[in-house]
Structure 1
Amino acid sequence: MQPSIDLLRHTLQGIYPPGEINGFIRLIFEALCDYTPTDILLRKDTILSEDMHRKIEEIASRLARQEPIQYILGYAWFCDRRFYIAPGALIPRPETEELVRLIIDENRSRPLRIADLGTGSGCIAVTLARELPQCRVEAWELSPEALAIARRNAELQQVTVDFYQRDILHYDLSQLTPGSLDLIVSNPPYICRSESRAMSENVLGYEPHEALFVPDETPLLFYDKIARDGLTLLSPGGRLYFEINEAQGPACACMLERQGYEQIRIIHDLYDKDRFASAIKPHAHG
């Protein structure tokens, strides 16, 4: 086993920081051998099969090309659950876990009709369906590839989510029942094109750009449309929850206020950045 660890360290040295390489080693041996971090320490002298060593060699070369480890292994952890992940859907982020936990904490007691708009891998919708079993959850997604991944995750987690192929920006609102939802959550594309210059190759080279980027001129493109449609789709007192670009907190709050929402909050993530927005549709929307 030690030669395989040495191979990983040698191949990835200078591409990733040492702490990240240690993280990769833990994930790889967990995925391939079902080893815990303690097993890795105690079993260094274990002789791995030629086949296993070749697999590790291949993973090392893919990591050296900056392919994300989640796409290589085919899964990611989200809210303590293992989700199937493949190119075609974004890799779930820790910030999104914070958003989901916030929604669960604030809406635990009521049977709600929830929609996750732009569901991607389905991690938000599926986790909410698992944690809030009294709620009915639906999820919208434009990309057929992402929808297939999300559906598989609902099956793997044994939850019922109603999936719809819909374009958030262009669907026909008149086909949907007014007031048919109590909660809308969305983590839509929110990175401005100009911000891509500061992003790493493992994101730019592999994750779907349509799920990441918005034009510089319209950074709130998706939020504005979802908030407007929410005034029709949400029941009175219904709630909106967004994950947002850290630079857009004040602009997002202004937009929600302009549209007539109440109890608008911009909430910080663990790194103290503006990362989430929530608002309530008024009871008497004129």
Structure 2
Amino acid sequence: MCELKQNYRKGGFTFKQFFVAHDRCAMKVGTDGVLLGAWAPVKGVRAALDIGSGSGLIALMLAQRNPTLRVDAVELDHEAAAQAQENFNESPWAERLHIINQDIITYSQHSLTQYDLIVSNPPYFEPAVACRDKKRDQARYTCALTHDVLLKSAKSCLAPHGLFCLVLPYEVGERLQDMAGKSGWFTAFRVDISDKPKTGYHRMLLGIQLQEASVQQTSLALKNENNEYTEAFRKLIQPFYLKY
């Protein structure tokens, strides 16, 4: 999905309660991250982990939605981690947001925290063609973090009752869901995303867990036939977007 346009300060994106600077991050604020940050269940969650946090967008959204939630955000790239820390410091929830400049494999091997919720907007492009920007390459290609490694790392950090939520391109999401099912995960939630009601699905919100579950599967169109945001999508983004 394309980068969103709602910039009232240069170099970032202005939300109702916080600003996300992203000029030093490979991946900018976009619809994928907003969807995950607005959708992931936070009721009753005390500790959350954001894997590959980038600018810190999703962690900030989770902190806004739950006034007692503590979020640890793991980010490999030094510049992105530094900018996420600055975004956290400027937000109303600085004391509940913590950035860790480390790869998730190392973090998962040493962390003593078991998280109620883990979120990730993970890499998904296969590295068939090299990217000119190495940081963007790292952020978007599965060569830096395979989905198998991501699932294993999340499993190490997740509490027995916890939920792992991801946003992915639709076909990639189907493959990851199948991979997860073969390695001890159960799908609890799935939302198939389309641009409009009659167009094909292009994104997936996926919630998986380690306890057996019945799948709650729904769909969401972002816009109606008049090219306006649907009521369901507006309900998700209303707490964050200035125009709502």
Larger radius of gyration: 1
Report the Cα distance in structure 2 between the residues aligned to 1:214 and 1:207, rounded to whole angstroms. 13
The Cα shift of 1:206 comes to 9.9
Q: Which has the higher contact order (CA 8 A, sep 6+)?
A: 2
Aligned partner of 2:100 in structure 1 is: 164
Q: Choose between structure 1 and 2: higher helix proportion.
A: 1
User: What is the percent sequence identity of the aligned residues?
Assistant: 22
Aligned residues: 202
Matched, 1:261 2:185: yes
Return 5+ residue gaps in structure 2 as ranges. Answer: 196-200, 213-244
Measured on the aligned residues, the alpha-carbon RMSD in Å equals 2.9
| Equivalent residues of 2:122, 2:167 under 8 A apart | yes
Q: Please give the secondary structure, in 2, of the residue aligned with 1:214.
A: coil
Aligned to 1:107: 42
| Shift, 1:226, TM fit | 2.4
Q: Distance in 2 between matches of 1:156 and 1:231?
A: 32
Contact 2:116 2:158 (C-alpha < 8 Å) held by counterparts: yes
Kindly provide the amino acid, as one letter, of the partner of residue 263 in structure 1. T
- What does residue range 66-215 of structure 1 map to in structure 2 within 5 Å? 73-77=10-14, 81-103=18-40, 106-108=41-43, 110-159=44-93, 160-168=96-104, 170-171=105-106, 173-177=108-112, 180-194=114-128, 208-215=136-143
Task: Find the aligned partners of 1:195 and 1:174 in 2 and give their Cα distance.
Answer: 31
Distance in 1 of aligned mates of 2:173 and 2:24: 29
> Structure 1, unaligned stretches of length 5 or more?
1-22, 32-72, 198-203
> Partner letter of residue 176 of structure 1?
S
**Which structure features the higher share of strand residues?**
2
- TM-score, length-scaled by structure 1: 0.62
Partners of 1:206 and 1:230 in 2: how far apart? 25
Higher mean alpha-carbon deviation, 112-121 vs 260-269, is at: 260-269
**Which letter does structure 2 place at the counterpart of 1:98?**
L
Determine the structure 2 residue equivalent to 1:246. Answer: 170
- CA distance 1:79–1:246, change in 2 (3 Å): farther
Q: Structure 2 length as normaliser, TM-score?
A: 0.72
Matched position secondary structure for 1:240: strand
Distance 2:202 2:47 in 1: 29
